[in-house]
Structure 1
Amino acid sequence: MGSGEKILKSVHSNRSNNVKSNSKHGIKDVPKGCLAIKVGSKEEEKQRFVVPVFYFNHPLFMQLLREAEEEYGFEQKGTITIPCHVEVFRYVQDMINRERSVNYHNNHHDHRHNQSHNHLVGCFRA
């Protein structure tokens, strides 16, 4: 089981058990198929993002999850917190969304291209 799957399983069990107690904190405004996360480095205020669950299987997002695991462990209580700069996260989010858009377009035209993100490994830490 990969990092993304472990965290999703943990979040799902916490979410199921705490829906009533957290409903006033925004769980209801998270669409089906998405999760709310917090993003921010130590020196900046954390911002809330709602991301689709397919992010949790993407290599770039999985790297962010590994960094969250190193920082906080798997037993985070409540919302997953990603310890990176908000602007870096927005860049990663944009790359994931662009790749998904390209893959969607290519799948409809039977063209397949492998995209490597090896050049980004290690760029998340400040």
Structure 2
Amino acid sequence: MKKLLRNPSKVTHSHQYSALQPNSSKPRPDSVPAGHFPVYVGLDQDTTEKFIVNAELLHHPLFIELLHRSEQEYGYAQRGVLRIPVDVVVFERVLESVKHGEGCSCLDELLGQSVSCR
């Protein structure tokens, strides 16, 4: 160790090290693509799953209804990632319905429940 301290040029000119810099060309595994946002979906901590959702969904009536449910459950003061308090299977049905352009306009209709929708 003393030899290294006396002659630091041996360390600084070494070809056996690489600078510890983040590689900006590789996306982080937890990064979210542009135009998307993360959503945690589930009724409790044990069944919560993370989804990466296209921001265009924010204008869809089914997703707006999910946002209303989130607001009722957590309020507007919720911090961090958006949480939606529905079963994961229900959320996946919403995504499939939107993807295939099905005409369902409310969650109850999508689930086949006999509740009249707005």
Q: TM-score, normalising length from structure 2?
A: 0.62
- Counterparts of 1:1-126 in structure 2, within 5 Å, are 26=30, 29-42=31-44, 44-99=46-101, 115-118=103-106, 120=108
Task: Please say which structure displays the higher CA radius of gyration.
Answer: 2
Alpha-carbon distance in 2 for matches of 1:42, 1:121? 24
Rounded to whole Å, the distance in 1 between the matches of 2:75 and 2:110 is: 19
| Percent identity of equivalent pairs | 30
Q: CA deviation at 1:47?
A: 0.4
Q: Distance in 1 between the 2:107 and 2:54 partners?
A: 24
**Inter-partner Cα distance in structure 1 for 2:36 and 2:72:** 23
Q: Comparing both chains, which one has the higher relative contact order based on Cα–Cα distances under 8 Å and sequence gaps of 6 or more?
A: 1
Q: Sort the Cα spacing of 1:68 and 1:25 in 2 relative to 1 into closer, same or farther, 3 A.
A: farther
Query: Structure 1 residue runs of 4+, over 6 Å off?
Result: none
Deviation at residue 44 of structure 1 after TM alignment: 4.3
Question: Contact 1:44–1:85 at 8 Å: present in 2 too?
Answer: no
CA RMSD across the alignment:
2.5
Length, aligned pairs only: 84
